[in-house]
């Protein structure tokens, strides 16, 4: 089957519908400006999905850490073992008895669905389907029929704008207001054939007409301990869309309210230069002038030696091999978010902050694997994106 073209002419939904309807086996390769996603089909069902620029929070190890299945020390131990053996991180974790095979399958399934559903936000790019006899699969991970993905993807497209509009930010903290009513099947079991409570002859109180499913009850049980929306997304194991949707359902039904996080103010620490009095003022002024000249040379591309400035080696950042590898992938994640932002707003942002406020990325995505943010500068209709400049 020859299937190749642009997403603008033949959308994601149409592609999945065609492959599923014809029960094809092969790999669907989708590319845009900064990303390449491979979706593997077995007889019309999705069995695996890979992304060349998968966000850091969707890496399997990070998902297990954020969901409190692993500790930081345990993950570091597993990564060292993976570097030594070159095995998959899931295999290493089960070999070390840090995570069960069942948990690995559950998170691998969530990782696959989150990767696939993100495709429905693509508006531009190319696609190509390569038909094969067999495809690689993730052991134990349930396949998903293309029709199911199609229905869920279309539902997300319809509801995501409203969810994003109603959710102030992922930093707000959902708080319980009142307890949930018992599930409908439990209420029915507690009543006899005539509608009376099993422990007395009094009629049972009328049931509340609420629309609560398993997702809402699961999220409600996880509330507390100052957990914000982002934390609930991690530990609920429902995915970003379903978690946010469940929280907003609980809010609309009056069981939960959203609180802004409390601001903690620490007393201002006295800086070393402040303790030096007038000498500190002179040193501080000289420092600011030097930093200003350094910034000017970086902005204009002037060799510092032309201004009589000698830059020490501390201004040249040399990342470790591990950081070098991870940063190459993470830069693609940031570039993809910038491309999505431009499609939505018609221009690139003046800083990286709007990528976080628009919930295209998390703050940690702008730093991973470094402590500092990536360097970003808007340059007319283009931008400059580099590793942190230290």
CA distance 181 to 187: 9
* Same domain? 9 vs 112: yes
* Same domain? 88 vs 156: yes
Of 67-71, 218-222, 366-370, the poorest mean pLDDT is in: 366-370
* Same domain? 188 vs 91: no
* Same domain? 197 vs 325: no
320-330 tens-digit pLDDT: 666 666 777 78
* Same domain? 57 vs 188: no
Is residue 114 one of the residues assigned to a domain?
Answer: yes
* Same domain? 41 vs 63: yes
Is residue 196 one of the residues assigned to a domain?
Answer: yes
Is residue 88 one of the residues assigned to a domain?
Answer: yes
Is residue 267 one of the residues assigned to a domain?
Answer: no
pLDDT at 329: 75
Instruction: Report strand pairing: 126-131 vs 3-6.
Output: antiparallel
User: What pTM was estimated for this model as a whole?
Assistant: 0.61
**Number of structural domains in the chain:** 4
Is residue 268 one of the residues assigned to a domain?
Answer: no
Is residue 314 one of the residues assigned to a domain?
Answer: no
247-299 tens-digit pLDDT: 999 999 999 999 988 754 444 444 444 444 444 454 455 545 555 555 554 55
HEC readout, the chain: CCEEEECCCCCHHHHHHHHHHCCCCEEEEEECCCCEEEEEEECCEEEEEEECCCCHHHCHHHHHHHCCCCCHHHHHHHHHHHHHHCCCHHHHHHHCCCCCHHHHHHHHHHHHHHHHHHHHHCCCCEEEEEECCCCCCCCCCCCEEHHHHHHHHHHHHHHHHHHHHHCCCCCCEEEECCCCCCCHHHHHHCECCCCEECCCCCECCCCCCCCCCHHHHHHHHHCCCCCCHHHHHHHHCCCHHHHHHHHHHHHHCCCEEEECCCCCCCCCCCCCHHHHHHHHHHHHHHHHHHHHHHHHHHHHCCCHHHHCCCCCHHHCCCCCHHHHHHHHHHHHHHHHHHHHHHHHHCCCCCCCHHHHHCCCCCHHHHCCCCCCCCEEEEECCEEEEECCCC
Q: In terms of pLDDT, which residue wins out, 301 or 45? A: 45
* Same domain? 98 vs 191: no
Tokens of 266: 């620490």
Expressed as residue numbers, the domain containing 228 is 171-259
Is residue 264 one of the residues assigned to a domain?
Answer: no
CA distance 29 to 19: 13
Tokens of 14: 């149409």
Is residue 313 one of the residues assigned to a domain?
Answer: no
* Same domain? 95 vs 199: no
Mean pLDDT value across residues 342-362: 83
* Same domain? 236 vs 367: no
* Same domain? 156 vs 208: no
Q: Is the pLDDT of residue 313 over 50?
A: no
* Same domain? 136 vs 184: no
Of 131-140, 290-299, 364-373, the poorest mean pLDDT is in: 290-299
* Same domain? 80 vs 154: yes
């Amino acid at each position: 089957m020859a299937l190749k073209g642009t997403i603008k002419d033949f959308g994601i939904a149409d592609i999945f519908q065609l492959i599923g309807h014809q029960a094809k086996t092969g790999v669907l390769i989708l590319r845009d400006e900064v990303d390449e996603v491979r979706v593997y089909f077995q007889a019309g069902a999705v069995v695996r999905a890979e992304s060349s620029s998968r966000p850091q929070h969707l890496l399997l190890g990070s998902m297990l850490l954020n969901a409190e299945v692993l500790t930081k020390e345990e993950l570091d131990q597993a990564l060292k073992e993976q570097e030594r053996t070159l095995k998959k991180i899931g295999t290493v974790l089960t070999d070390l008895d840090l995570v069960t095979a069942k948990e690995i399958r559950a998170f691998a399934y969530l990782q696959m669905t989150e990767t696939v559903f993100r495709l429905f936000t693509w508006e531009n790019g190319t696609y190509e389907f390569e038909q094969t006899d067999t495809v690689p699969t993730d052991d134990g991970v349930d396949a998903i029929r293309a029709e199911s993905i199609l229905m869920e993807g279309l539902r997300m497209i319809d509801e995501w704008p409203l969810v994003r509009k109603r959710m102030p930010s992922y930093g707000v903290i959902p708080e319980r207001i009142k307890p949930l009513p018992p599930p409908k099947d439990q209420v029915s079991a507690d009543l006899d054939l005539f509608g009376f409570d099993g422990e007395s002859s009094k009629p049972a109180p009328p049931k509340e007409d609420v629309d609560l499913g398993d997702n809402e009850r699961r999220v409600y049980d996880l509330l507390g301990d100052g957990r914000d929306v982002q934390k609930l997304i991690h530990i609920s194991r429902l995915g970003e869309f379903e978690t946010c949707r469940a929280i907003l359902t609980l809010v609309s039904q009056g069981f939960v309210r959203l609180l802004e996080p409390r601001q903690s103010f620490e007393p201002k620490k006295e800086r070393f230069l402040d303790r030096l009095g007038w000498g500190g003022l002179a040193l501080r002024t000289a420092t600011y002038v030097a930093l200003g000249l350094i910034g000017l040379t970086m902005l204009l591309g002037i060799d510092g030696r032309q201004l009589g400035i000698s830059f020490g080696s501390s201004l040249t950042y040399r990342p470790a091999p591990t950081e070098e590898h991870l940063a190459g992938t993470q830069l693609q994640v940031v570039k993809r978010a910038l491309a999505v932002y431009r499609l939505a707003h018609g221009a690139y942002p003046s800083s990286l902050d709007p990528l976080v406020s628009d919930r295209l990325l998390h703050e940690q995505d702008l730093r991973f694997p470094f402590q500092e943010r990536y360097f970003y500068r808007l340059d007319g209709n283009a931008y400059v994106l580099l590793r942190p400049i230290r």
